[in-house]
Structure 1
């Protein structure tokens, strides 16, 4: 249920801002698109600011939504799980690899979906653009859904540095009763892994489908 909710939230976000910013939503997608095209490096910081701000504001709204539940809940891990991801089994190299794989699939898939509508596969480009606006967000949402179902078990599939680090910072700052630690020892994994996976996804897609090739 959570996986489907997250997937549809991604789809709605792409519908909402896709025409304005390309709806990266995710720093790993931003760096992946840069690795693929070599363009837009000067604008990356703007995306990062928006992505982290959105994740942190979202975390605050979730905190407020669950306000009556914090005190009666004794499990500090469950409270942290509302904000950030954690591994089923703590093994940093394997946790890192899992995040790399998941984010690689995400970025490669996003690029493949976009390429399908811009490479002439669909036919008439005007028609392809119209179809893309309607269906691409859903395809991206179901891509996230499939990643969650197939690769989410070991680490909770952050696949997004902003989605994990931003809310983790909010967890650290908010006065949540009995919240315990924010698990900063693990916090680097859902940041470094997705960045590496995003870059690899962009580079591999570029190697297989050269721009202008």
Structure 2
């Protein structure tokens, strides 16, 4: 691995770890017992995740700040460079995916450590799982899949189109579109819109010594992985066609 790609790999680890520490942290703040932010509501979670993306994008500047395998895949199918000097090839895509998944796992572990005493409190096992990974409000695998495809399509299409506008919003724009997707399309599934964001923390949940935890709900785990990948690929393709 050359030094530029190695820097990108570390960048994706650190950026995605920042994203998950802050994102899982806001969920833990809102839903875990005795937290000072308990019952803070859905919009607090939306804005917390949006600004977690904002922070992660700045941290991962060396890699182009993908933070998300669906973003990497969307750029790959569009034929867009991952960042300056790193072209869209399958080996490079796999390196980015590995960094994103590892970073998401590490960020979830850090969030667990930050809220360790709250995880020790009595709570429904599903509540503890919800800090780490998404779950549907109404379980219907096909329709849950459609929701994740649509949410991630919006994200990738916006990323492709926003690069052609003179606004210069950058990381703040990405943060705001994530808030918008959560507030508008997040209700049915909890809006993973990022395979690493869901899979890495779900693995962490399975491995960590969480008091009173239940199942990691692996029967649902394919939805927030495949749905965003499909939505990301479609968003990249349509966005590339649209902007020419």
Normalised by the size of structure 1, how large is the TM-score? 0.88
Distance 1:89 1:192 in 2: 18
The correspondence of residues 181-192 of structure 1 with structure 2, limited to 5 A, is 181-192=215-226
Residue equivalent to 1:40: 88
Residue equivalent to 2:241: 207
> Which residue of the other structure, out of 68, 71, 82, is the alignment partner of 1:26?
68
Distance 1:15 1:57 in 2: 18
Residue equivalent to 1:145: 179
User: Is the contact between residue 164 and residue 243 of structure 2 (CA under 8 Å) also seen in structure 1?
Assistant: no
Residue equivalent to 2:200: 166
Displacement, 1:113? 1.3
Displacement, 1:102? 0.1
Distance 2:161 2:240 in 1: 10
User: Is the contact between residue 160 and residue 240 of structure 2 (CA under 8 Å) also seen in structure 1?
Assistant: no
Distance 2:99 2:164 in 1: 25
Gaps of 5+ in 2: 1-43, 81-86
SS in 1 for 2:219: coil
Answer 1 or 2: higher relative contact order, Cα 8 Å, separation at least 6: 1
CA displacement, residues 167-202 of structure 1 (integer Å, 9 cap, x when unaligned): 000100111111000000000000000000000001
SS in 2 for 1:115: coil
Residue equivalent to 2:24: none
Distance 2:45 2:185 in 1: 14
Residue equivalent to 2:60: 17
Deviates more, 1:165-174 or 1:29-38: 29-38
Instruction: Name the Cα RMSD after superposition.
Output: 1.2
Distance 1:165 1:207 in 2: 30
Aligned pair count reads 194
1:61 aligns with 2:103: no
